[in-house]
């Protein structure tokens, strides 16, 4: 079954640099702040920041800073979706989330996978898959109702 065409579709391409995160967040704010309730806006903003940071620190580790990170926002009547595309080696998101200990979520010194746990808690749906063009796509969805 084919997914319906979104009402709105926004794209941004950034280099693999943590310094590009403020630009991603400003772009997100312009799009999402008028559309989302405050709590959903905050949750999606944190999820985007965590996802972007994970690409820079993990997926693109060892790749040149010119390697692009593509961001997309899609909006439907009942759903807000953020997609983050990377060129790193794929991994099994479900297996990674199962091996993480949720008790470590509140430990400020715990590093391994805490961002993924935050993303999972803050979004309604979370998917990660390898594409035919050798990119990976992290898809985060938040219901609007």
Segment 113-139, tens digit of pLDDT = 668 888 999 999 999 999 999 999 999
The pLDDT assigned to 92 comes to: 85
pLDDT band at 1 (very low <50, low <70, confident <90, very high): very low
Greater confidence (61 vs 107) lies with 61
The mean pLDDT of 41-69, rounded to a whole number, is 96
Q: Residue 51 contacts by C-beta under 8 Å, 6 or more apart in sequence?
A: 82, 84, 115, 119, 138, 140
Q: What letter would DSSP give residue 88? A: S
What does the chain come to in residues?
Answer: 145
For residue 101 the two structure tokens come to 């200990």
Select from 3.30.565.10, 3.40.50.300, 3.30.1330.120, 3.90.1580.10 the CATH code of 8-143.
3.30.565.10
Is residue 47 within 8 A of residue 122, CB to CB? The reply is: yes
Q: Which of 25-29, 45-49, 111-115, 120-124 has the lowest mean pLDDT?
A: 111-115
For residue 47 the two structure tokens come to 């999820």
Q: Which of 104, 3, 1, 114 is nearest to 83 (CA)?
A: 3
- Quote the mean pLDDT of the chain: 89
For residue 29 the two structure tokens come to 């704010």
State yes or no: pLDDT of 101 exceeds 90.
no
d(CA 95, CA 57): 20
The pLDDT assigned to 128 comes to: 95
Strands (E), the chain: 8-15, 68-75, 79-86, 125-130, 136-143
């Amino acid at each position: 079954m084919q997914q319906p065409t979104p009402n709105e579709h926004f794209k941004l391409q950034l280099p693999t640099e943590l310094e590009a995160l403020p630009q991603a967040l400003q772009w997100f704010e312009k799009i999402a702040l008028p559309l989302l309730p405050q709590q959903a806006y905050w949750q999606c903003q944190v999820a985007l920041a965590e996802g972007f940071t994970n690409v820079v620190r993990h997926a693109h580790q060892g790749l040149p800073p010119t390697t692009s990170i593509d961001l997309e926002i899609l909006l439907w009547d009942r759903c807000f979706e953020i997609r983050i595309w990377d060129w790193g080696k794929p991994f099994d998101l479900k297996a990674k989330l199962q091996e993480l200990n949720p008790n470590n979520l509140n430990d400020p010194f715990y590093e391994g996978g805490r961002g993924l746990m935050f993303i999972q808690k803050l979004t309604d749906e979370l998917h990660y898959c390898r594409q035919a063009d050798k990119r990976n796509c992290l898809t985060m969805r938040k219901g609007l109702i």
